[in-house]
Amino acid sequence: MVMCDNIQKSKETKEDNLIEINLLRFVRLLRHTGLRVSSAETIEAVNALDFIDIADRREVKAALQATLVKEQDQLQAFDQAFDTFFVSETERDNINKKYLERLDEKNQQLEKTQEELQFQEASLELTEDESLAYNQMSLEEQERLKEFLKQTSQGKKVDKKFKPIVESLVKGHLDRWQSLQDFQSMDLDSVGDESFDALLAELERKYPKERNLMFQDMGKISDNDLPKMRQIIHRLSRRLATKISRRYEQSKRASQVDIRRTIRHNLRYGGIPINLKYRERRIRKPDIMLLCDVSGSMSKYSTFTMLFMAGLVSAIRNLRIFLFSETLEQIKLSRNAVKDVEGFISTMQEDSRVWGEGTNFNSSLKELTSRHAVDYGGNTIMIIISDTKTLQAGKAAEKLKKIKRQVKKIIWLNPLPKEQWNKQQTVSIFREQSQMHLCHTLAQLEQVLSNKLFK
């Protein structure tokens, strides 16, 4: 009888462990979709399951939603992750099978590209997307590309030194083809866990819209997608603002004990805090001056950048925004603008005196230095969003050079495709006076601001 009780308790313990493991994997999936879930909230979710019927799917979903979801705009991502993760064993096997099939297909396409696109029997060094783009071309287009490589590989004075040049031409052709066609990337995220990778792939396959918007050219986003863009921008900017506000500078001076680093570095001593680690006060919040090109081709890029910056106001000491085209105009932008993207765009187009005009960056900088010089200084980070196409670029660069000496740094966000930078003379002119980064998608915008703005 005692043995039976022990067996029963052992079974119950294993079931409890399985539930906790599955919940931890589900939380991991939520984090990959962009939801911030803390360890304390995860513990609350585990405890909540003790008060419901674990066999009732609706009760489980309600309990997890109540403990893990903090904001209204997170509900859709939670629902999608829940419906993808909590499926039958048969469905899970199908998900794993489909993932392996897609992974095998992707590897075959990459191998095919390596075999067929070669210069003097050496494979070209292409990105995954460039290799996959080649496979999506028509057979006629593929043959033309192979013939080009065959012809350029021949000749008495042609040796392997020419490979980088030929490679650059092929990459440019493939990149242009991607921008002109309906290219379908095969992004299969990998975290080193095959079954979890399969879940990520299934989530992307079933609900591709948000990811597509993250990586879609901002200038081509339709008005129908603006509500979804609002949710994405709100979430991304909130996440980055939280990350920034919690940062501390590491220090050897005894200012404030860094609990997490102290525990981690003293695990060898059984957790006894023998070697203390310290941190200083939070890094000083920067002053941001945002200059947005709102000429016809740049208006959407500038709009989404402004809205993203509005979500960072908690992590910025001062945010000053100027619109420029033929002249300069200062605007006030509140964080609430993110909640009504359509209204913000409509208001800007109607009320702004510079919106949609031609671009003269020189005259705009002249007005900035004469009327707003007191608004920037040594703690100011100047961010410029523009494709660099402007009148009087040389004179504008001279003014920007003087401003560069007065501010902390100048970051230039350029939505122009990278392969066009060498063809556009104004790019090289302004690149000398700024840190210029490619930025035509939300994913690139988040990456640049996260990696460059606050470091």
Q: How many domains in the chain?
A: 4
Nearest CA-CA partner of 303 in 249, 275, 361, 343? 343
pLDDT value at residue 14? 47
- Whether 189 maps to a domain, the answer reads no
Same domain for 390 and 336: yes
The pair phi, psi for residue 121, each rounded to 5°, is 65, 15
pLDDT value at residue 314? 67
Residue 283 token pair: 């890094």
pLDDT value at residue 7? 35
Print the SS3 string covering 375-421: HCCCCEEEEEECCCCCCCHHHHHHHHHHHHHHCCEEEEEECCCHHHC
Sign of the Cα torsion 285, 410, 448, 225 reads positive
Same domain for 305 and 443: yes
Cα 372 from chain centroid?
A: 32
- Whether 210 maps to a domain, the answer reads no
Same domain for 430 and 360: yes
Same domain for 175 and 132: yes
- Whether 383 maps to a domain, the answer reads yes
pLDDT value at residue 201? 81
- Whether 328 maps to a domain, the answer reads yes
pLDDT value at residue 185? 61
Same domain for 291 and 277: no
Looking at 48, 69, 86, the residue that finishes a domain is: 86
- Whether 188 maps to a domain, the answer reads no
Looking at 180, 197, 220, the residue that finishes a domain is: 180
- Whether 24 maps to a domain, the answer reads yes
Same domain for 391 and 277: no
Residues 6+ apart with CB under 8 A from 66: 48
- Whether 151 maps to a domain, the answer reads yes
Same domain for 392 and 366: yes
Q: What is the maximum span of the chain, computed from C-alpha positions, in angstroms?
A: 93
pLDDT value at residue 341? 62
Give the chain's residues under pLDDT 50.
Answer: 1-14, 248-254
Residue 272, SS3? coil
Same domain for 432 and 301: yes
Helix ranges (H only) for 117-258 are: 128-136, 139-153, 163-180, 194-206, 209-215, 226-245
Please tell me the distance from the alpha carbon of residue 444 to that of residue 435, in angstroms, as a whole number. Answer: 15
Looking at 132, 150, 180, the residue that finishes a domain is: 180
Same domain for 309 and 435: yes
Same domain for 324 and 270: no
- Whether 442 maps to a domain, the answer reads yes
Nearest CA-CA partner of 347 in 337, 357, 358, 335? 337
Domain span including residue 55:
13-86
Global pTM value: 0.54
Same domain for 430 and 303: yes
Same domain for 123 and 24: no
